[in-house]
Structure 1
Amino acid sequence: MTEPAAAAPSLPGLPSGRFSGREAFTQLLRDGLATAAREGWPEIVLSDANFHDWPLGELAVIESLQQWARGGRRFTMLACTYDEVIRRHARFVRWRGTWDHIITCRRSPEADPLDLPSALWSPAWVLHRIDPLRCVGVSGAEPERRVLLRESLNEWLRSKSSPGFPSTTLGL
């Protein structure tokens, strides 16, 4: 028996393997966040150049995030820019303001958008869009897949990004 088969029972509904297409990607994101809420994942990391084609503004996604969020949880976002999040995902922006105390947002404005990982990482399962233009990637709970993606994200978070996307904007 292989590791992926052994991990499958603990994550019902979350597939392991390749995916292709925008619909498959967005559905995997919805399913991943719903599972995070149900299973109580302690940490979630979202990374993308701009999140413009993510379903972050959908009511179902916000309900999953709301159910997931509570003390002791950590949520990290990484992007080149958050302009599209603000423009397209108003529900998410409101949710982000409410849960600012568990959310860390980092930005890497100088990065090539195709170099920044497009991914959802958790200690239990990952979704990695390897080719954002064609919306092709892999998902799974395999330990190797989770460790490799986390190492890549950590490099971006530690040395190639700075704080960004404040929960409030101060004006005069």
Structure 2
Amino acid sequence: MTPDAGGEGGRFTGLREFREVALQVLHDALAAGQPDILLLDADFAAWPLDDAGLLQALTRWARAPQRRLHLLARHYEELPRRHPRFVHWRDLFAHVALCRAAPGVDASEFPVLVLTRSTGLYATAPPSCRGYKLVTEADLRTWREVFDAISQRSEEASPGHSLGL
């Protein structure tokens, strides 16, 4: 699943740049009070989810009404090992952070995505992590369709403690 990478946003290559851009996009979305943030990855292992500043911003954002952080992964096995502080945050805010798992979807079908109403990020899976910021409505719509297609083949994942998060 690789729609045409015609994004007009800033391009990046490599894990370090992916983490920087992901943090920027997430901080921008949280500061703007985006009500829904969609995150997609096969396992979220390479993400900067344990960043202290991000967790503080997520906490402020999650305390506002009608917020939803949608996580969609093939599995969540790497999360406790790589992002223990995020796992703790997720346990506290399980009513905001909704998890779905799609173990039957091949890992190669999972792009790396952050999607909001007005911005986002697309990347290929690590280690290459090549991608770009999503700034056009067409790009956002295309990648939301990819998210929705994988989501339709997923199942609700249990709350944090049951998943081992």
Alignment TM-score, normalising by the size of structure 2: 0.87
Matched, 1:105 2:99: yes
2:53 alignment partner AA:
A
Provide the C-alpha distance between the structure 2 equivalents of 1:33 and 1:127, rounded to a whole number of angstroms.
Answer: 9
CA displacement 1:134-155 (0-9 Å, x = unmatched): 1101212210010000011011
Q: Secondary structure at the match of 1:168?
A: helix
Larger Rg: 1
Map residues 72-151 of structure 1 onto 2, 5 A cutoff: 72-151=66-145
Distance 1:110 1:93 in 2: 23
Cα 1:130/1:112, change in 2 over 3 Å: same
Superposition map of 1:26-41 within 5 A: 26-41=19-34
User: How many residues in Structure 1 have an aligned counterpart in Structure 2?
Assistant: 155
Q: Measure how far apart 1:29 and its partner are.
A: 1.0
CA contact 1:45–1:121 (8 Å) conserved in 2: yes
Partner secondary structure for residue 124 of structure 2: strand
Would you say the 8 A contact 1:44–1:76 is kept in 2? yes
AA partner of residue 79 (structure 2): V
Aligned-pair CA distance for 1:132: 3.5
| 2:13 paired residue number | 20
Q: For residue 132 of structure 1, give the secondary structure of its aligned residue in structure 2.
A: coil
| Unmatched runs of 5 consecutive residues or more in structure 2 | 1-7
Greater relative contact order, per chain length (Cα 8 Å cut-off, separation 6+): 2
Contact 1:26/1:55 (CA < 8 Å) preserved in 2? yes
* Aligned residue among 136, 139, 150 for 1:156: 150
**Match of 1:134, as an amino acid?**
S
Deviation at 1:131, TM superposition (A): 4.8
- What is the identity percentage for the equivalent residue pairs of Structure 1 and Structure 2? 32
